[in-house]
Amino acid sequence: MAIRTTRRITRRDFAGLAGGFLISSQAVAQTGAPEILTRAIPGSGERIPAVGLGTAYVFDENNEATRSKADAIVQALVKNGGRLIDTASSYGDAESVLGEVTATGGWRDKLFIATKLESPNSQELKRSLARLKTASVDLLQLHNVRSMQQSLERFREWKKQAVCRYVGITSTSLRDYPAVEAVLEREKPDFVQIDYSLDNRGAEKSILPLAAEVRAGVLTALPYGNGRLFRAVHGKELPDWARVFANSWGQFFLKYLLGDPRVTAVIPGTGDPGHMADNAGAMRGPLPDPDQRRRMIEFVEAL
């Protein structure tokens, strides 16, 4: 049965490597927890925790309720060993919410902040930095690449000016993959962010191999298939064979992606601190090996 949905689904809607893969580790000082999975950014060697946080849809409105929720989620991210938070100038008030939470909580030095601009526009950049309450970000991305001719020249100038440490491109549209490939090959950014999930594996055919070739880090947007995967397993128990590497459906879906060493980090969005902690759990324990990953594909395709 094909996995389909007509609306955005989250876990809340239904409530209720090893062999052959390198697992790098880092002690989590805040909790004394065991080792977590980190991945090296190919262009620099800097290691970042392999599970982060996406802010689309969940930090949209700048009000007290959203800020309180965001604060709890950021705390859960950091407490469980994470650092990476991805946002965008076009995500409603997400940059403002994140900026206020990080400034109030003193989180900035503990985080790897990535944001996106719709174009190489200085005013848009100034607005994003003001909203984020920071003089610089860790990763600045050109959002939704659609043209093969798009350039990162202005982004590189900002990098030289220390406005950002890394530059990248993004897309979540299959029809724009040819443009992404062209820009990725020509511009060789530090990162590419692409839609990739267990039921949406198109990036494996072209984007991931090319990213490895040009030494670009890979961030995976929509790692739960925009909610389709949770809808598909609603009411189902995690299979016994998967329990050797996953403790929940969320970890099952994330670990499929992390089982590919070309993936630098996954960035699932969540509005629940408990889910953030569970997502971060995908950084611990074994990853599925190639045979297990093939079994995961077969399992999902049979739903």
Handedness of CA 104, 105, 107, 109 (dihedral sign): positive
pLDDT at 8: 42
Please check the confidence at residue 27 and state whether its pLDDT lies above 50.
Answer: no
Please check the confidence at residue 1 and state whether its pLDDT lies above 60.
Answer: no
- 133-181 pLDDT, tens digit each: 999 999 999 999 999 999 999 999 999 999 999 999 999 999 999 999 9
Q: Band of the pLDDT at 11, cuts 50, 70, 90?
A: very low
pLDDT at 2: 37
- 49-105 pLDDT, tens digit each: 999 999 999 999 999 999 999 999 999 999 999 999 999 999 999 999 999 999 999
List, as one string, the DSSP characters of 254-300.
Answer: HHHHHTSTT--EE--B-S-HHHHHHHHGGGSSPPP-HHHHHHHHHHH
Burial of 212 (0-12, 13-18, 19+ CB in 10 A): middle
pLDDT exceeding 70 applies to what percent of the chain? 89
Report the CATH number of the 35-301 domain: 3.20.20.100
pLDDT at 3: 37
Cβ proximity of 276 and 78 under 8 Å: no
Please check the confidence at residue 23 and state whether its pLDDT lies above 90.
Answer: no
Please check the confidence at residue 5 and state whether its pLDDT lies above 90.
Answer: no
Contacts of 90 (CB under 8 A, 6+ apart): 116, 118, 143
- 108-132 pLDDT, tens digit each: 999 999 999 999 999 999 999 999 9
Joined tokens for residue 45: 């060697």
Q: How many residues does the chain have?
A: 303
Q: Kindly report whether the global pTM for this prediction surpasses the value 0.85.
A: yes
Please check the confidence at residue 32 and state whether its pLDDT lies above 90.
Answer: no
pLDDT at 14: 34
- Cα–Cα distance for residue pair 72/66, rounded to 1 Å: 10
Give the domain ranges of the chain: 35-301
Cβ proximity of 199 and 232 under 8 Å: yes
Rounded to 5 degrees, φ, ψ at 260 are -95, 115
- 210-256 pLDDT, tens digit each: 999 999 999 999 999 999 999 999 999 999 999 999 999 999 999 99
> What is the rounded average pLDDT of the residues 196-221?
97
